[in-house]
Structure 1
C-alpha cells in the first residue's frame, strides 16, 4: 500500500463503494470529481438532438462486448484511465465494480435506496428510474496494465503496445495511452453523462481519468452514412460485420492465436484527430473530392453514382478519375493482398469550441476494431503516410487498447479470464 494518506483515503472510498454491489453507490461525498482531476479532461458535451429516438436496452451479456459491431450511436464519451488500485486484488475489485455498474446502467432499474443520512445513490439526472436507453459500455486494457504492478506481464496480448507516432502525427503525451479504456455510447447525451458520473463515483480510488473526449454522430443528411466535420460521409466502406464469418475474420480474436483469455475480444485503436476546418473550407470542392476520392454530396466514388458503389480502381490504373493518392485508394486499394487489412471503423465528431488562438477546435474521435493491429490498422496507416489530406488534419492523441471479451452471464465479470 502507498504511504500517501490521501491515496489511502481514495482507495478506502473505492473499496467501500465496490462492496455495496449492484444498484448501490459508495457514500463518499463528491465522488464524481475524479473526472475533473486530470489536466486533459476538458471536453464540450456531445451535441445530440433532444429528439433522438429512444433505443431498446442493449444486451449486456454475451461472448463479445456490446458497442463494437453495433450501429454507431448519437452520443459517446471515450475515456482513458490510469489504474490507481494498489495490487491485483484491488484491480479485481475494480473490474468487478465496473461490471456491476455497467450491468445495472445498461439494463436500467431503480437506484438503491440508502439511509436518509447518506448521499443519494444516483445523481438523479435521468429521473427516479434509470431507463437503460440503449446504453453500451465497452471496456479495454492498455499495454501499461501489463507492467510489474499486477503480475500480468506474461498475459499481455501479443500485438498490444503503446501507440507509436506515425508519419504526420503531432502527438501530445497528455492525450495518449492509458491503463484502461472505457467508451459509453447512447442515443442521448444525458444517458452517457449519467453513466460516466455513476461509474466514476463507484470506482473512486481505483482508477482516475487520464484523458476524455466526448463525441457525437450527426443524423444522415440526407440519407446513408453520417458526415464528419469535413462534410463528407464517414465509414461508407466498413466491412459487413453483421455477417458472423466476416466479423470472426476481421474483428474478433479467436482461440489459439493469442493468450487464451483474449478469445472473444478485439484490438481497439483510438485516434483523436483535429480537423483544420477553417483551412479546409477555403479549398475548392473539386480539390476536396479528389483528395477523398468521393463526391461530397452523394458519397459515391468519383467513378460511380451511389454511395455504396465499389470504386473500379483496376479500370483506372493511372488515377485519371480517382487519383492514386486519394484517401479511399490508399486506405483500401481493394486488392487481394489488402483484403485482410480492412478494419471496422467507428467515428464520432467532436467540438471543443476554440483554441487559445481563437481557431475552431473540432475534429474526429476515430475508433476502430480489428483482429490484428499490424496486419490491419498499422498497414493502413503506413499506406496513408503523406496523403494530401495531412495538410488539413492533425492527429494529436489516442492509444492502443484491447477490448476485453464479453461478460457471459451474471456470474461473470470484465477481465475474469485475464485475472484468473
Structure 2
C-alpha cells in the first residue's frame, strides 16, 4: 500500500469517522477468541472489572489530554484512576505491514483520546463500535502510550541497527520468579483513563482494527487507589506509594532524568522518547498482615499512617518530607536495608542512579490453583537511561521486603517519541 493510500485511509479516521483498518479485512475469526481471552488469562470483562470501577465513584470528567506533542501522553501526566498494560507479539509481515500497524495505532489513538461520534450503521449491519461508552466516545482523561521491546529489533523488519542503545530483554534479578507468559513483548500499550469502561473500550477497539498485525501476549488491568485520607494513594501493603518523583513540570529536570536527548548515544529517532520498565510484582499479603506495624515501617523506611520518613513520629506529618540519612549512618532510624534507603541511599556514588519517574498501579486477579490471593503491583517507571533502573533494582536485591514480594513478569521497553501533528504517526522516525 502506498503512502498516499495510507494517508487517505488515515484521513477517514478524523472527525466523526472510524472505519475498519486494513487489518480488519483479514479473517474475522483470526485471533479474536485468543485476543479477547488473552494469554494472561481471564477476559477483558473478567471479575476484576468492579474493582477499579468504583474506586472513587466519580462520573467521567470528559477531560481531554492532548494527543499531539514532542512526548507521548501518559508519562508526565498525572496518573489516572485506572490502567491497562498489554504486551503484544507483532505478526505483521514485513516492514510495510509494520508501518501500516503503527499508522493504524496512531489513527485509533488520535480518535479515541479526542472523543467523538462514529459513523452510523444500518440496523442490519454489524455495529462500527462496541457501544460500551454509549453513542459517543468521551475523552475521559484517556491516554494511550506505545512502547517497543527489544524483540522488535530482531531480523524480521530490518531494524537491528536502529535499536535504542540500552534496550534489552529483561533478565531475572536474584529474587525474581519470572513467568515467560507474563514477560517481554514486541509492543507495549499502556492505556490509562478515568474509568474502567474506557480502557476496555479502547483495547477492544484496537483489537478490532489490528487483527492479523499483532496478538496479545499478556495483560494486566489495574487501578490506583484514592488517597486515604489525603496525599499519595496507598498500595495493597497499606503504604503510600510513589511519593518521591521528579517535578514533571520542570522541563530541564525532565530532560535530564527522563527524556532521551539528541546528539547522544541514542539513535536520532529516539529523541523525545524514554525507557519504560514494567515489573509485575506479586504481594504475599497473608504473610505481610502477620508482621507488626513497627516492623513493616522498618522494612519500608516510612511511617505507615502518614507516609512520612521515619524521623517524623507524628501521624499528621507530611508525606512530602524528605528522608535524611546524614545523621543516621548506622541505620538506627531508617534501616540500611529498608526499601526507601536502598532505592536512594543518598551517597555520591549512587546519586546518578537514584531518580526515576514512577507511574505504578495495583492489580487484583483470580486466586491461584490453591486458592491463594493474587494481588500485587504493576510497577512502572520511566527514565532517560535504562541503566538507572537496573542499578537501583540491583541495590534492592538486599532489601528487607524481599520475603513478601515475588516479581513475576513485565519487561523493558522504549516509549516512542510523541506524535507531533496530524501528519505524523507512531515510530515514523524509526521506520523511515
Per the normalisation by structure 2, the TM-score is 0.90
Q: Distance in 1 between matches of 2:207 and 2:10?
A: 15
1:237 corresponds in structure 2 to 244
The correspondence for 1:385, drawn from 376, 385, 397, is: 397
Determine whether 1:147 maps to 2:142: no
Where in structure 2 are there 5+ consecutive unaligned residues? 1-5
1:222-301 → structure 2 map (5 Å cutoff): 222-257=229-264, 258-301=266-309
CA contact (8 A) 2:10 2:103 kept: no
Change (3 A) 1:32 1:20: farther
CA–CA separation in structure 1 for the residues paired with 2:185 and 2:151: 7
Distance 1:32 1:57 in 2: 30
Which among 357, 364, 369 is matched to residue 370 of structure 2? Answer: 357
Residue 177 of structure 1 corresponds to: 184
Give the Cα–Cα distance (whole angstroms) in 1 for the partners of residues 94 and 428 of structure 2. 15
Does the 8 Å contact 1:229/1:349 carry over to 2?
A: yes
Q: Tell which deviates more after alignment, 326-335 or 78-87.
A: 326-335
After superposition, where does 1:79-158 map in structure 2 within 5 Å? 79-114=86-121, 117-158=124-165
Count residues with an aligned counterpart: 403
Deviation sequence 1:170-208 (CA, Å, 0-9, x none): 001111100000010001000110001001100010000
Shift of residue 240 of structure 1? 1.3
CA spacing shift, 1:362–1:335, aligned 2, 3 Å: same
Structure 1 unaligned blocks of 5 or more? 1-14
The residue that corresponds to 2:52 in the other structure is 47
Instruction: Report the alpha carbon displacement of residue 337 of structure 1 after superposing the two structures with TM.
Output: 3.2
Which range is displaced more, 306-315 or 62-71? 306-315
1:245-293 CA-to-partner distances (Å, cap 9, x unmatched) read 1111111001011100000000000000000001101110010000000
Query: Residue deviations 1:135-189, cap 9 Å, x none?
Result: 0000000000000000000000010000110111000111110000001000100
Counterparts of 1:315 and 1:265, CA distance in 2: 39
Q: Root-mean-square deviation (CA), in Å?
A: 1.8
Secondary structure in 1 matching 2:134: coil
Give matches, 1:196-207, under 5 Å: 196-207=203-214
1:414 maps to 426
Contact 2:279 2:378 in 1 (8 A): yes
Matched, 1:167 2:162: no
CA contact (8 A) 2:299 2:339 kept: yes
Contact 1:35 1:41 (C-alpha < 8 Å) held by counterparts: no
Give the superposition deviation at 1:238.
Answer: 1.1
Give the one of 211, 220, 224 matched to 1:217. Answer: 224
Residue in structure 1 matched with residue 19 of structure 2 by the alignment: 24
The answer for the alignment partner of 1:8 in structure 2 is none
Once residues 256 and 20 of structure 1 are traced to their aligned partners in structure 2, the CA distance between those partners, rounded to angstroms, is 34
Give the alignment's TM-score, normalised by structure 1: 0.92
Once the two structures are TM-superposed, the CA of residue 310 in structure 1 deviates from its matched residue by 1.1
Q: CA deviation at 1:306?
A: 2.0
